[in-house]
Amino acid sequence: MSLNSLEEIAQFIVAEGKGILAADESNPTCGKRFDSIGVESTEENRRDYREMLFRSLGMKNNIGGVILFDETIRQRAKDGTPLIELINNQGALPGIKVDKGLEPLQESPEESLTQGLEGLDERCREYEKIGARFAKWRAVIRIGESIPSQSCIDKNMQALADYAKIVQKNKMVPIVEPEVLMDGDHSIERCFEVSRSTLSSLFNCLDKNSINIKGTLLKPSMVTSGSKAGIKADIDEVAELTLKCLKENVPNNLPGITFLSGGQSDVEATAHLDAMNKIGGFEWKLSFSYGRALQQPALKAWLGKEENIKDAQRALSHRALMNRKAAQGLWDLSLESN
């Protein structure tokens, strides 16, 4: 695909309702997913599983980008085809997760700072040569009684801005992912306050680092009640408060916002995205960058067995189509049973 500029790459990923398949689980996380279906997490099994996903018919037209883990971007399919070639052949772009996980903050051990800036320039240079067109870095903000601190928010957002600078220098689109975790019993109003502070700090840091916003994508969490909250906000409230937070803090020239699903069920994540697009009134494309919410039905159907591959691919294709419809505001619950 002849996409020459960062702006073209970013726009392509979210064009016409397309979104992102997040297949960048680390090996330990993939191990937990495989444990749930009784499959051993070997390099070959991980390869077979991801090859199955990438060959699904529903990748075409619904998925604009796939985020990969370091192991996966170097792997070849059973027939010897590089996995990134399978992705390109489906009309999607391969991307790479580049952060190195979380370290507790010295001054506040309950909070964390994402690592990975050291040596990032060299790694990005290699990934771009392999064929990655975009990269992803995740910052994690926890809500608790006395957290997050402004210091934790600012340090994580500055790291995201520093990462974005290095990625753009290496001709890839940075996805900036400031995840406000659902874990906890906090209200949706508390989540709104923390999300607002986080996004405000992020775009301030990106601005200071002279990041090309037109060649950047945002992967935020939605504004929701905590997973253990007594009263859960409904779909409309989540959609309204998430949009309010984004409109107050995100510049209009950002090409796309691709939400993470962050602990939501597959249909719930689709319903929230659809509700926002039905409300409308924004300049950016509002789409998805889901991991579990796209993969879970396929994983359950697959069970590590070759005879289940077609069923698993149908399950992934269905979720990809449902989320594309949601990104266009065209989803309805009745479509789930068709």
Q: Which of 219, 248, 278, 305 is catalytic?
A: 219
Distance of alpha carbon 173 from alpha carbon 155, whole angstroms: 22
Q: Which of 97, 111, 177, 325 is catalytic?
A: 177
- Which has the closest alpha carbon to 54: 26, 81, 33, 25? 81
Exposed, middle or buried by CB within 10 Å (0-12, 13-18, 19+), for 1?
exposed
Whether 278 is catalytic: no
Specify the amino acid at residue 213: I
Q: How confident is the model at residue 338 (pLDDT cuts 50, 70, 90)?
A: low
pLDDT in tens, 28-73: 999 999 999 999 999 999 999 999 999 999 999 999 999 999 999 9
**Distances from the Cα of 251 to the Cαs of 53, 65, 66, 162, 165, in angstroms?**
34, 22, 25, 19, 18
Q: What is the pLDDT of residue 292?
A: 93
Please state whether the peptide bond connecting residue 148 to the residue before it is cis, i.e. omega within 30 degrees of 0: yes
pLDDT in tens, 100-141: 999 999 999 999 999 999 999 999 999 999 999 999 999 999
Q: What is the pLDDT of residue 262?
A: 86
Helix (H) or strand (E) segment spanning residue 314: helix 309-327
pTM beyond 0.75: the answer is yes
Whether 325 is catalytic: no
Distance of alpha carbon 219 from alpha carbon 175, whole angstroms: 6
Comparison of pLDDT for 79 and 338, the residue scoring more: 79
The alpha carbon dihedral of 227, 233, 235, 239 has a sign of negative
Q: Are 101 and 85 in contact (CB under 8 A)?
A: no
Q: How confident is the model at residue 4 (pLDDT cuts 50, 70, 90)?
A: confident
CATH domain 6-337 topology: TIM Barrel (3.20.20)
Q: Are 314 and 287 in contact (CB under 8 A)?
A: no
Q: Which two tokens stand for residue 203?
A: 């775009």
- Helix, strand or coil, per DSSP, at residue 174: strand
Distance of alpha carbon 191 from alpha carbon 2, whole angstroms: 41
pLDDT in tens, 72-101: 999 999 999 999 999 999 999 999 999 999
- DSSP 8-state symbol, 96: E
**Domain positions in the chain:** 6-337
